Amino acid sequence: MILPGATIGILGGGQLGRMLAIAAAQLGYRCHAYDPNPGSGAAEVCAEFTCAPWIDRNALGLFAAACDVVTFEFENVLAGPLAAIPPGKLWPPVKALEVAQDRLHEKAFAESCGGRPAPYAAVDSAEDLAAAIERIGTPGILKTRREGYDGKGQWRIDSPRDAEGLRLPGPNLIYEGFIHFAAEFSVILVRGADGEVRFWDSPHNVHRSGILTTSALPAPPAVVEQVPAARALAGRIAEALDYVGVMTCEFFATDAGPVFNEMAPRVHNSGHWTIEGAETSQFENHVRAICGLPLGDSRTVAPRVAMENLIGRDVERASAILAEPGAHLHLYGKAEAREGRKMGHVTRIGR
C-alpha cells in the first residue's frame, strides 16, 4: 500500500493528468508530471514536472526514481522506453498500453476475450484496401492503427470508388466496416490490485465529427439492456491484462447486442461526469487502485447527470454556465480555443 504523502508519477500532461493530480491532492498525495510539452496543463497543478522526450530513457529513469508509483493519462506514450520504470511500479501494466496502442491488436485481443468488434482488416497497401472493401463492403472507415483520436487519422469510405486514387498515409492502417447502431455507450470500471472490480453506470455517448460531445445518464433502454454483456467483456479484458486502475471500453448498441469499438487503459472523457455525479469519481478511484487503497463506491448520486464537452469557442459560454443551477464547470487552463480542441467540460446534475 502506498500511503498519502507519497509521490504519484503521471505520464502525460493533458487535462486527464490535471484532473488525476487534483484528485490525488485531495487524498494527500503529491504528483509529478512527465510530458514533452513545456505547456503542460497537468504541470500547473503538480508539485513537480519533468519536460523531456518519451524516448529519453535516462529522464524516464530519473522520473521513476522520484516517484513511488507511476501511471499514464493517455495511451500514446511510447511503450518501449517504459522499460526504464521498474516492474510493479507502473499501473496499469505496459501490456495494456501495448494492446490499446494498436487498433488491429486491440480488436484481436477483444475477440480473444469473447468480444465482437466490427468486421476489420489490416491495410498496408492500396491492394489490401481494395481486398478489404471487397470482403467487408462499404460504408467503412479507414484508420491509422496507431495514434489518432477525436476523429483524427480517419477517412470514411462510402463506396469502392472513394478508395480509387486515395493516397494512403502509409502502411499500418486498418479498415473497419460501418456498424448500424442505436446508440454509443461506454463501460467504465476500476480494478484493484486484489482483483476487485467496480463499475460506474454506463452513459449514453454522442459524438460530433468524431469528438465526444455529451455523456448522459440515464441511458436509453437500447443501452441499458446491453450493459450486462458489455460489462462481462470489459471485466474479462481487465482480468486478462492483470489490470490495475480505471479502464474504459466503448461499445455500439446494436440489434445483435453490444459491438466492441475500442478500449482506453486510463481515465476517460466519458467518465468526467463521475466527479460530481458519482459517490467516488473515476479519478479518485484510479488513485485508490494504483496506491492499493480500498476502492470507493461508484454509485450514481442523482437521477439525471449529463456531461458536455466545451470544444473550441464553446468556452466563451463559461460565464453563462456558471449562472446555471446544478451546473459544474471545469476549465483545463488552455490558452488557445482552437476548433476541435477540448477546452473544458460542464456537468449538469438534475433531479
Residue 227 belongs to domain with CATH number: 3.30.470.20
Residue 40 maps to a domain: yes
Kindly report, residue by residue over 239-249, the tens digit of the pLDDT: 999 999 999 99
The per-residue pLDDT for 201 is 98
Q: Is 198 in the same domain as 327? A: yes
Q: Does the pLDDT value for residue 147 go beyond 80? A: no
Q: 218: cis peptide before it, omega within 30°?
A: yes
Q: Is the dihedral of CA 37, 41, 42, 45 positive or negative?
A: positive
The per-residue pLDDT for 215 is 98
Arithmetic mean of pLDDT, 30-57 = 95
The per-residue pLDDT for 314 is 96
Q: Does the pLDDT value for residue 101 go beyond 60? A: yes
Q: How confident is the model at residue 150 (pLDDT cuts 50, 70, 90)?
A: low
Arithmetic mean of pLDDT, 313-319 = 96
Q: Is 309 in the same domain as 238? A: yes
Q: Is 336 in the same domain as 229? A: yes
The CATH number that applies at residue 128 is 3.30.1490.20
What percentage of the chain has pLDDT greater than the value 70? Answer: 99
Q: Which of 161, 177, 193 is at the close of a domain?
A: 177
Pairwise CA distance, residues 223 & 303, whole Å: 17
| Backbone region of residue 31 per phi and psi (left: phi > 0; alpha: psi in -120 to 50; beta: other values) | beta
Q: Does the pLDDT value for residue 157 go beyond 60? A: yes
> Is 267 in contact with 278 (CB distance < 8 Å)?
no
Kindly report, residue by residue over 185-202, the tens digit of the pLDDT: 999 999 999 999 999 999
Pairwise CA distance, residues 183 & 181, whole Å: 6
Q: Is 199 in the same domain as 315? A: yes
Residue 109 maps to a domain: no
Residue 2 maps to a domain: no
Residue 100 maps to a domain: no
Q: Which of 146, 177, 208 is at the close of a domain?
A: 177
Q: Where are the beta strands (DSSP E) in 53-139?
A: 69-72, 120-123
Q: How confident is the model at residue 78 (pLDDT cuts 50, 70, 90)?
A: confident
Q: Is 195 in the same domain as 209? A: yes
The per-residue pLDDT for 87 is 81
Q: Is 164 in the same domain as 193? A: no
What is the secondary structure of 230-245 as a DSSP string?
HHHHHHHHHHHTT--E
The angle subtended at Cα 270 by Cα 268 and Cα 275, nearest 5°, is 85
Pairwise CA distance, residues 273 & 218, whole Å: 12
Residue 114 maps to a domain: no
Residue 99 maps to a domain: no
Q: In 3-state terms, what secondary structure has residue 263?
A: strand
The CATH number that applies at residue 76 is 3.40.50.20
Pairwise CA distance, residues 216 & 308, whole Å: 9
Q: Is 208 in the same domain as 278? A: yes
Arithmetic mean of pLDDT, 60-85 = 92
Pairwise CA distance, residues 99 & 265, whole Å: 9
Q: How confident is the model at residue 75 (pLDDT cuts 50, 70, 90)?
A: confident
* Domain containing residue 254: 183-350
Q: How confident is the model at residue 146 (pLDDT cuts 50, 70, 90)?
A: confident
Which residue bears the cell 450493459? 227
Q: What is the mean pLDDT of the chain?
A: 94
Alpha helices in 119-185 (DSSP H): 126-136, 160-163
Q: Is 300 in the same domain as 230? A: yes
Q: Is 196 in the same domain as 159? A: no
What percentage of the chain has pLDDT greater than the value 90? Answer: 87
Contact residues for 335 (Cβ-Cβ < 8 A; gap 6+): none
Residue 131 maps to a domain: yes
Residue 195 maps to a domain: yes
Q: Does the pLDDT value for residue 166 go beyond 90? A: no
Q: In 3-state terms, what secondary structure has residue 268?
A: coil
DSSP state of 341: -
Q: Is 159 in the same domain as 208? A: no
Pairwise CA distance, residues 269 & 213, whole Å: 10
Arithmetic mean of pLDDT, 308-330 = 97
Arithmetic mean of pLDDT, 91-109 = 95
Q: How confident is the model at residue 33 (pLDDT cuts 50, 70, 90)?
A: very high
Arithmetic mean of pLDDT, 139-158 = 82
Q: Does the pLDDT value for residue 152 go beyond 80? A: no
Count of domains forming the chain: 3
Q: Is 34 in the same domain as 53? A: yes
Q: Which of 140, 159, 177 is at the close of a domain?
A: 177
Q: Which residue has the higher pLDDT, 337 or 87?
A: 337
Pairwise CA distance, residues 259 & 265, whole Å: 18
Q: Is 204 in the same domain as 169? A: no
